[in-house]
Structure 1
Amino acid sequence: MQPTGSSHDLALRPSTFSTLCEALDYAAGGETGVNFYNGRGQLYCALRYGELREQSLALARRLLGLGIEKGGRVALVAETTPDFVRFFWACQYAGLVPVPLPATVHIGGHQAFVNQLRKLLENCRAEAAMAPEEWLSFLEEATDGLELRCVGTPDVFDALEPFTGELPGAAPEDTAYIQYTSGSTRFPRGVVIDHATVLANINDMALNGLKLNDQDRFGSWLPFYHDMGLVAFIIMPMATQRSVDFLGTRDFAMRPRQWLELMSRNRATIASAPPFGYDLAAMRVRPRDAEQWDLSNWRVACVGAELISPEPLQRFAEAVAPAGFDPRAYVACYGMAECSLAISFAPLGEEMVVDCVDAEYLQQAHEARPLDPETAEREGVRVAKYVDCGPLLPTFEVSIRDDDGNPLPERHVGSIHLRGPSVMSGYFEDEASTREVMSPDGWLNTGDVGYLIDGNLVVTGRKKDMIIVHGRNIWPQDLEYLAKQQPGVRFTDAAAFAVTDDHQHETAAVVVQCRERDPLKRETLVKNIKGQVRAEFGIDCIVELVPPRTLPRTSSGKLARSRARQEFLARRAAEAAAPPAAVVNGPRPARPAAPARDQARRLA
């Protein structure tokens, strides 16, 4: 078996498609397609888009044989398999709406995962649900008592009687899919994206963000239930007729070197990951590995996160430098499911730009006053560093606004509002949540905070994560950064949030995953973090040390600060109610584990 090729004779024309079905019909005329690899790097499925189209059309008739009307929802447990891709495109031809569901179970979280699946199934009112064999028991438990027409593995659906009439197809205004948000601040909401909306974003990314060329090839380990995995690596390669190589998320978590091996072997040019993904790969790369690879073709290494940390990117670039990786391939970008995917891209082929600003002035005046880091260090001025995410894609309008909705000038920090053809129509059957974020004239309040520099967007964090102590605005990432500077505290080991102290005043709490068992060293770590926070911000804070794998993550791998806060308060309440000896002894530290690996396992 050979993977599908990278070159083709089809012209790039995503702007001419009115539906995803039209895009796949066009891609079917070429030789490119999708390729799936196992954890040992072995190719086990290669499908040209023409073959994928034929299989999807056949499955579309079997789905319609269930009697589901146009627009009905089909839930898909989104494991990285060819079946998910086949079902996703079958739904498009059948006029049905695919709903990707997470395929991730935290350690000891069987019931929590089942409950999550059930809530999502109920929320989208799914009429059928598919899961691979290894996930079927979870799905069957989650659907117990629900009235679905069919629940089963792909084989069950393939055995259905096909519909013999004409396929309904799709219109530009029809819903293409429902993408559930990662749920970092609340229960996930279903983002409704229609065909015209996602194709507008694909066109914008292809021509302006990534500037695709005829030899581009995609490579990914990102989960299909996340907007970047779904839009950037399933929909976009197809709509631009490019081949894509998939490694399962769990396989990446266990063998991250396989991702880089595949990028080298297939000469892939475009990939993406959050900072922790690059960090995990850097931790596992050995010098002799990098010397055998050739990553010189890798021209776009997108970096997406609410707040991008440069440190893990530097470590990765150093680790794979012998393979020819150019750090100028890094492209800081900003996006969200509510805008299909991408909103801004830093310029291609340029070094990542970090904006250094006066941290104290930023907190007090909400203005990002630029500073020279060396001068600031000599003068004892605290510096905050933020990555420039580049200009917005041409179809977007942006407005940075204060709490009263008034537009702010450049370098003034406020809420990021966006408008454009890639913005969602709303949350699925949730008018109240839609009204919270969408104005009648089409402006989306992203919930993120940032500022503009010569039209480029800089994101400073989530508005709901802001910690306000004595009238000062403090970003949790700043407190987390101080904790991460301590010996033994790694990149994903800290979470900061606001809590109420014993005097009913708001204060900051920092929860730190700690591997150290020695009581004196643990006590020293707590004192050092408190001292650093007091020195930098002039506030006292609560510091709690917890075992590795404690901090919760969203389905997309982001730190879930609101859930971390809830769990912190629950632990405090349990301690208050426990016998004195139990409080003194505390929980026994868990076995040390690498946090980036843990985060990838949660994501998987």
Structure 2
Amino acid sequence: MQDQALLTLPRALERAAGRTGYGFTFVKDDLSEEDHPWSSLLEEAKSLAVALAAHGMKKGDHVALILPEAGDFVPLFLGVVQGGGVPVPLYPPMGMGQLGGYLDHSKHIIHASRAKLLVTNRQIKAVIGKVHDSAPDLQKILLRSELVGDASLWQDPNLTLDDTCFLQFTSGSTNKPKGVIVTHGNLAHNARAIMREGLASNDEDRGVSWLPLFHDMGLIGFVIAPIHHRVPVSFMSPMTFLKRPASWLEVLSKHRGTITYGPNFSYAITAKRVRDRDLEGLDLSAVRVAGCGAEPIQAETLRAFADRFSKVGFREGAFVPSYGMAEYTLAIAFSTGVPTDRVDAEKLWSDGEAVPAPDDAPSSEVVEIVHCGKAFDEHGIRVVDVETRAVLEDRKVGEIEVSGPSVMQGYYDRPEATRITIGRDGWMRTGDLGYLADGNIYICGRAKDVIIVNGKNYYPQDLEWAGSEVPGVRAGNVVAFPTYREGLGREAVIVLAETKQSDGRDVLARNVKAEIAKQTGLTVDEVVVVDAGTIPKTSSGKLQRRKARTQYEEGKLQKREDESALKVAGRLVESQLAHLKLGIFGKNKR
């Protein structure tokens, strides 16, 4: 575990294979398991590399992967890299409801990446359809089950740290997804920052993850970095977790997991949905790292989780609030526990300055922001003025910039976007607003999402968090954005809030509006209560504020509500017909 050498992923896998008996465990939906030691994964990767070469894959070729099962995805991802190819992970379809949008998204990535091969399963191949029509570089669609090769015929592609390892397409929360070029060197440096500096990994560690592997936090954080530093991991399906959050805790307990991660929402729904009887026999005392990232972090959410599960050994000090992004490979900074800064809300929103609030200040006048720690060794973090790009002093809000060996090489086939994002001095613009205090970074929000009302800056997540606290609103499913409204003299502030309630929506909207005003001092112009699943999100679960705004302006949200009302009416009619049939024909026989 003490070897500090920077290796390509194939070399790191070869080294990991020397740790006999350790590797990855794939947990199925019924919680049965399959163990894959790194030594067998290495042989399987070589076999798949040979099979892909037989289908024309050469060093540097891009290979798109759409595989929902971790047990299929991980060996194939490693196999593409083992053969010198460049994997392009795509998320699988989650359901038929938004299939049109999924197909557009997938075709965009396959086309933009210039993928030569696409590997998937039989079911998804039938859904993808005629993807060739929009992806002229795509030569073949292959089935994972048909890829069989002889590992003894594998030829070393002699990769270097400067070679591209894979293309990570951004989540597309503000724009169309762009392909981030991630090199083996990027991964080696970031893996060392994560596992050594951030998590201080050791020979006793075991990771447990349900995170999707098409997303950087799941793929780099729990596949690539653990291979580099020989930490075994147990993988669950994201759907297993979402259907029953208690399963996450059960696997952690059974495997004595020490490292796990999840976005803020995952801790919220686990604390809410896990029942007391689910806690019987659980032991979370081995968990020393419970990372939180990928979306804004709420201190209250983490504290509620820690309080809920302290009785089974979970400690609040295990939390690791994290800041990262795909363009920086993955991790930018880590902290520990739930460290917060209580700042004057008025000065933050009006002046862009994080002034510490008095201890006796009322909660309505205070914003509590979680800090995510300091820059890693050989890496840098600074905050600059959005307009002048001058470096700002502590506690001044501006755009966060980062530097170091984790900075991406650029966006694939997007030189202008790369030039705008990475300066000549090597500092990269993140698009995030925040401030530094004593070297620690505090995240305020996305620069493009800031809502300006009467000269004050409001961060949409503050409005969204306030709205989420209203009973009846689906926590984490509130989105706020500005939109032009003629005659108002400024942009109107709109809030969409999801609910499962069919009645009392006008009252719910008023309650959301009142709670936002109470917590932020801003009276929003309109609250629209919508059905569960209405608000658009990225493949990694991030709110798509721009897309929500577009749908609102085009009247699509109202149309969806109307359609929902028709569905409800239809179900009522069906129910009445069922009762009528029972009355005529009698009860069903058992």
Q: TM-score, normalised by structure 2?
A: 0.91
Answer yes or no: is 1:50 the counterpart of 2:32: no
Q: Give the one of 86, 104, 115 matched to 1:97.
A: 86
Match for residue 370 of structure 1?
356
| Pairing of 1:383-394 with structure 2 (within 5 A) | 383-394=366-377
| 1:501 pairs with 2:490 | no
Residues 399, 447 of structure 2: 8 Å contact kept: yes
Instruction: Specify whether residues 279 and 574 from structure 1 end up closer, same or farther in structure 2 by C-alpha distance, changes over 3 A only.
Output: closer
Name the Cα RMSD after superposition.
Answer: 2.3
Counterpart of 1:259?
A: 248
**Which residue number corresponds to residue 579 of structure 2?**
none
Cα shift at 1:307: 1.5
> Which ranges in structure 1 are unaligned for 5 or more consecutive residues?
1-10, 576-581, 592-604
Q: CA deviation at 1:474?
A: 0.9
User: CA shift at 1:223, angstroms?
Assistant: 0.3
Aligned to 2:549: 565
Question: Which residue in the other structure is 2:393 paired with?
Answer: 409
Kindly indicate whether residue 38 of structure 2 is the aligned counterpart of residue 61 of structure 1. no
Aligned residue identity for 2:294: A
1:357 maps to which of 319, 325, 343: 343
2:417 to 420, 433, 453: 433
Q: 1:401 & 1:392 partners in 2: Cα distance?
A: 16
Matched with 1:8 is none
| Cα separation, partners in 2 of 1:533 and 1:88, compared to 1, 3 Å | closer
The one of 509, 522, 527 equivalent to 2:505 is 522
Identity of aligned residues (%): 35
1:539 Cα deviation after fit: 4.4
Conserved in 1, the CA contact under 8 Å of 2:43 and 2:151? no
Within-5 A mapping of 1:304-323: 304-323=293-312
Which secondary structure does the structure 1 equivalent of 2:300 belong to?
Answer: helix
Instruction: Name the residue aligned to 1:113.
Output: 102
Q: Which residue of 2 aligns with 1:152?
A: 142
Of 542-551 and 193-202, more deviation after overlay is shown by 542-551
SS in 2 for 1:322: helix
The 1:586/1:228 distance shift into structure 2, 3 A limit, reads: closer
**8 Å contact kept, 1:499–1:508:** yes
Q: How does 1:22-421 map to 2 (within 5 A)?
A: 22-30=11-19, 31-43=21-33, 45-106=34-95, 108-143=97-132, 146=135, 148-158=138-148, 166-347=155-336, 351-373=337-359, 375-377=360-362, 382-403=365-386, 404-421=388-405
Note the C-alpha offset of 1:533: 4.5
Select the structure with the greater relative contact order (CA < 8 A; seq sep ≥ 6): 1
After superposition, the C-alpha distances for 1:414-466 in whole angstroms (9 at most, x for unaligned) are: 00000000110000111121122111121110000100110001001111110
The match for 1:480 among 443, 451, 464 is 464
2:501 is equivalent to residue 512 of structure 1: no
Query: Is the CA contact 1:358–1:381 (under 8 Å) kept in the aligned structure 2?
Result: no
Q: Does the CA contact (< 8 Å) of 1:80 and 1:247 recur in 2? A: no
SS of the aligned residue for 1:50 comes to helix
Superposed CA offset, 1:312-350 (max 9, x none): 323322332221111111110100111111110103xxx
Q: Distance in 2 between matches of 1:175 and 1:505?
A: 46
| CA-CA distance at 1:91 after TM superposition | 1.6
Q: 2:565 aligns with which of 576, 588, 596?
A: 588
Alignment correspondent of 1:596: none
Distance 2:94 2:130 in 1: 14
Q: 1:216 to 1:479 in 2, by over 3 A?
A: same
CA drift at 1:138: 2.5
Kindly provide the amino acid, as one letter, of the partner of residue 358 in structure 1.
D
On the 8 A contact 1:73/1:98 being kept in 2, the answer is yes
Q: Distance in 2 between matches of 1:46 and 1:586?
A: 47
Task: Sort the Cα spacing of 1:522 and 1:218 in 2 relative to 1 into closer, same or farther, 3 A.
Answer: same
Asked if the contact 1:78–1:225 (Cα under 8 Å) also holds between the matched residues in 2, the reply is no
Residues 80 and 283 of structure 1: is their aligned pair in 2 closer, same or farther, counting only changes over 3 Å?
farther
Contact 1:355–1:388 (CA under 8 A) maintained in structure 2: yes
Using the TM superposition, give the Cα deviation of residue 133 of structure 1 relative to its aligned residue in structure 2, in angstroms. 3.4
Tell me if the contact between 2:494 and 2:524 (Cα under 8 Å) persists in the aligned partners.
no
Partner residue of 2:444 out of 449, 460, 464: 460
DSSP 3-state at the match of 2:381: strand
Q: Matched residues in 2 for 1:486 and 1:129: separation?
A: 45
Q: Tell me if structure 2 keeps the 8 A contact 1:515–1:590.
A: no
Q: Is the contact made by 1:93 and 1:170 (CA closer than 8 Å) also made in structure 2?
A: no
Residue 531 of structure 1, CA deviation: 4.0
Say whether the 8 Å CA contact 1:290–1:319 is kept in structure 2: no
Cα pair 1:12 1:241 within 8 Å, conserved: no
Deviates more, 1:34-43 or 1:106-115: 106-115
